[in-house]
Amino acid sequence: MIVTLLPIILFRAAVVQGAVSLWAEGSASSGECICEAFLPNSTFPIGQLVLLESTAVEIKYKLEMEISKVEVYEVKLQVYIAKIKNLTVLIELMEDDPDSYNELHLEEVKIQIKQVEALIVELQASIKASSSVLISIRTQVITMISVLTQLEITYDKNLVLVTRREYLILQQKLEECERRHDEIFNPNIGICNHRGIRRISKPIVSQLNADLNGAFKYGGWGKDSKPLSGSESMYWYSGSSDTLVSKISQYSAYYTLITRQSFKAHLLYVDRQYDWRGAGNNYVVRENNLYYQYRSPFAMAKFNMTSAKVETKVVPKASTQFSYHYSANQNLDFAADESGLWVTYATADSKGKLVLGKINEQSFAVETVFQTSVYKPSVGNTFMVCGVLYATRSVDTKTEEIFYTFDTHTQKESYVSIPFEKFHDFYSYLDYNPTDQKLYMFNNGYYVSYHVWFNQEASADKSLVD
């Protein structure tokens, strides 16, 4: 018998194709049996999987260490807060009855204050070190998912399924560790006692969209901004190769989003039955309702994903002539924050300058309107945080910048500079979610998110974690 290829190459061929017709048998004129192997153009990179598995073990060890540190931080915080409360009570007693205390008592209080200060400095240093480690881990995870996604696209996805499952377990641990870590930094999620955005983290790239389609440059993803009971961990995604909005998928948790296992997909168009399609990429999900720009006639739409019913309402004077800088048809931009539901647009009367409307969620109508001075086509995107409008623009191919704010409480606008890194030059979706204080971006087909840090009001409790 004559075998025309080396065993190791045959093994690689078997890995790629399984048992699907790799061999052709025949007889030579001399009576010898000849077997020929038909290989694909490329062999499966088994070395990359080995390297990924090695990296996964390393990340698992680091994460276990960081999770244990976070648990220690939580305990220390409780101790520090208790010490501060006790000191506060003691100082108040001394102020009420100073004659009952002498210099020795005062010195003892000063020593206790210095001890607490030293403990706070120690905690801040530990948290800062942990932040650096988590950023390093996140970078490794981004690299892993990029390699795995490319392998799934190029080869049979079942061959990388085991490694992807291991990776997803690690990613879940990382998300949990980051969430608990963020709770130390931002213990008051949903509360607006801050002075606006201070900075934005580096981009956290989850993966290519659920359709594994790089041509799906338009779309959005994120969480429900006011989830129904039991749906707090739900995610949603919608994507397309154009600005037409025709489908939205729901996922029970981050894990199922990453593994592309939606529990429900809603079609906004069924031939000869209904056409509820939208346009643009500036939609949000709130209380299991999708708020989006209705395609025809031009209006805002509310699609209830529980009852599968749609409601539309015309926005007075809203124009279809003014879109954002990055793409067309973004005429109505929906946003949700701690104070409710909003829509931004432009009108012919405003000559293209942004108009902000507060939506009454019960009547589904714009009830309050604010006029800004910023020209909409110069804006990359906008989002709302605690009743303040933030507008972004492109600085260069790698950098986006929050350059403008409008406070609906004071009706004052200001120009600022809060730069943040873009994953790719082009993005079609950017929105803030008040349930986790994150920005969600759909960037060139990828799920991208950012942590947001605020300028905190000065207080004893917040000084511990600022």
**Same domain assignment for residues 328 and 277:** yes
Task: Give the domain range for residue 101.
Answer: 46-174
Residue 247, burial from CB neighbour count under 10 angstroms (0-12, 13-18, 19+): middle
Are 351 and 388 within one domain? Answer: yes
Quick check: 197 and 437 in contact, CB under 8 A? no
Same domain, 144 and 281: no
Position 9 scores a pLDDT of: 34
Compute the distance between CA of residue 304 and CA of residue 311 in angstroms, rounded to an integer. Answer: 8
Nearest-10 crossing angle of helices 103-154, 46-96 = 160
pLDDT tens, position by position, 432-450: 999 989 999 999 999 999 9
Answer for the pair 389, 372: CB distance below 8 angstroms, yes or no: yes
Residue 53, SS3? helix
What's the pLDDT at 93?
Answer: 80
18 falls within a domain: yes
User: Is 109 a domain residue?
Assistant: yes
**Same domain for 264 and 115:** no
Token digits for 399? 């950098």
Q: Encode pLDDT of 401-433 as tens digits.
A: 999 999 999 999 999 999 999 988 889 999 999
Return averaged pLDDT per consecutive 10 residues of the chain, 466 residues in all: 36 38 43 46 58 68 68 70 78 79 77 75 70 71 68 55 55 61 62 90 86 90 95 94 95 87 95 93 95 95 96 95 91 96 96 96 95 96 97 94 97 96 89 94 93 71 35
Q: How much is the pLDDT for 43?
A: 54
Beta carbons within 8 Å of 51's beta carbon, 6+ residues apart? none
Residues 161 and 210 in one domain: no
pLDDT, tens only, 125-178:
766 666 677 777 777 776 666 666 666 555 555 544 545 555 555 566 666 666
Q: What is the DSSP string of 32-100?
A: -EEEEE---SS---HHHHHHHHHHHHHHHHHHHHHHHHHHHHHHHHHHHHHHHHHHHHHHHHHHH-GGG
141/138 Cα distance (integer angstroms): 5
Give the total number of structural domains in the chain. Answer: 3
**What is the predicted pLDDT for the residue at 102?**
77
Integer Cα distance of 432 and 284 in angstroms: 10
Strand intervals (E) in 40-81: none
Q: Do residues 327 and 418 both lie within one domain?
A: yes
Whole-number pLDDT of residue 179: 59
* Residue 297: cis peptide before it, omega within 30 degrees of 0: yes
Residue 22 CA to residue 38 CA, distance in Å, equals 5
Contact 196, 455 (CB under 8 A): yes
Q: What is the CATH number of the domain that holds 220?
A: 2.115.10
| Residues across the chain | 466
